[in-house]
Chains A and B, each alone.
Chain A
Amino acid sequence: MTPDYAHSYIFIAALGVAAFVFVFGVVYLSRLIQRRHPYPEKLSPYECGIEPAVGDSWHPFAVRYYVFALLFVIFDVEAVFIFPWALVFRSLGRSGFAEMMIFIGVLFVGLVYAWAKGALEWD
């Protein structure tokens, strides 16, 4: 049986709930049968094993990650636009194809610009 459209999303929601129930269920099960003996040293964050962790771990991190996240958003949105186009581009013909190539070309120029500016270099 291939379920209809609305039913499909009920199954997906059920699977998502099942994933959560499964994870918490198994962790709860393991809590029931294990021996627990927590003490402050055991619960402290691991750093080198001898000294306790130095300073705050939620410290500022390299801005590089942010640059790549921005680039990712741009290209991900581009992909969202290409998905529906890929579905219908045969019926859109040559003009529809040319328009999408211009759109991709503009973003391609953006990628070349980021490359030239050194945004893609890690070190």
Chain B
Amino acid sequence: MNWNLSFFEHLIAAVVIGLAAPALSAIVFPFAVRRLSGFMSDRLGPNRVGPAGFLQPMADFIKLLLKEDITPSRSDRLLFMLAPAIAFVTPVIAISVIPFSPGYTIASLNVGLVFVVAAGSFAVLGILLAGWASHNKYSLLGGLRSVAQMISYEIPLIFNIIIVAMLVGSLSLNDVVGAQGKVWYIAVQPLAFLFFIIAGMAELNRTPFDLPEAESELVGGYMTEYGGMRFGFFYGLVEWGNATIWSLTGATLFLGGWRGPFGGSPGWLILKMLVLVFVVIWFFATFPRLQIDQLMGFAWKVLIPLSLVNLGVTGGLIILLPDNFLPPVAAFSWVSVIVLVLLFPPVQRKLLLRKRLGKAAA
């Protein structure tokens, strides 16, 4: 697709895409979570409003719109109002560097990969501000936990994005898709893809890393004092908008972006994005929540060292075999994934047992 648009037409298209993507995800995905996790746990999920419950998101939206907009009396009013808007900047601007089809990217930056990472920091900022400005103990603790978790998992996420950049030799997402003509990078670097998924779940505050919203200990986390549409922004548009951005980035980096049979088109990209969002929902219905010490330990003691090793080995193989580096990199990555999946659970169990025994003896 090659559209010949004027500057202003292009600008309007960009704003419409940027706002529609998080809005649509906020309408579709929470409903999908409730229905799919319902089926996965042998329940029905919401099925009363409209045919098969499909009007449920609209009912929720109207309810949030009509709810009273409260600013708690002791809160920092300016920051309290700014926080949802700042957090919302992430999903809106990050979509601009994703290539939708061979000829269409909103802003084809040559530093697209850096830009996606940089845009993600707005979400951290918004959550920290929300937690602080609410003047509520649950909010403060939830916000701090969330930020500690997001910055810890941001590092392995960045390292695994860099591994893809090393394979491509470019930071432009157009070049990333262009380089995946023969083989998708999920086949070349399954280890990086695995870490990208794990770190992504933590970045998005999704299960099994959903401690910031652990309702049994922190009420609503950083969202406790938010109500009405402001809550709707945090809970729907920011969270699921970010999930969409993460899925689009993952689809572009590892699943070939808009590539697919019958020529490249945005449809393939959206299909791959939906597959990754389904993985998020699947995890939600499957995994229990981690403890915070396990969570932070996993980022710093497992993900970061292994990502750095993967980065070093991949770089070394590219330097040694500059003409034909994909097969050895793929061999290394597949062997490491298999070893990791086989060895990690028993080793982890043994270490945990030793720690508990040590505590019991002390």
Contact = CB atoms under 8 A, between A and B. Distances in A.
Interface of A: 1-3, 5, 7-12, 14-16, 18-20, 22-24, 26-27, 29-31, 33-38, 40, 42-47, 53, 57-59, 61, 64-65, 68-69, 71-72, 75-76, 79, 82-83, 86-87, 89-90, 93-94, 97, 100-101, 104, 108, 111, 114-115, 120-123
B70 interface: yes
Interface string B104-148: 111111100111000000000000000010111111110010011
A1 B7 CA distance: 9
Interface stretch (B27-35, B278-286, B296-304, B332-340): B296-304
Contacts of A114: 300
Contact of A53 (B136, B162, B230, B312): B136
A45 B72 contact: yes
B296 A120 contact: yes
A3 B312 CA distance: 35
Contacts of A79: 155, 158-159, 162
A67 to B, nearest CB: 10
A52 to B, nearest CB: 10
B89 A30 contact: no
A75 B155 contact: yes
Contacts of B74: 44-45, 53, 57
B305 interface: yes
B219 interface: yes
A1 B10 CA distance: 8
6 contacts: A7-B7, A44-B72, A68-B151, A83-B113, A97-B319, A122-B293
Contacts, number: 229
Contacts of A9: 107
Nearest to B241: A19
B92 A18 contact: yes
B96 interface: yes
Contacts of B137: 47, 53, 57, 59
B73 A43 contact: yes
Nearest to B164: A86
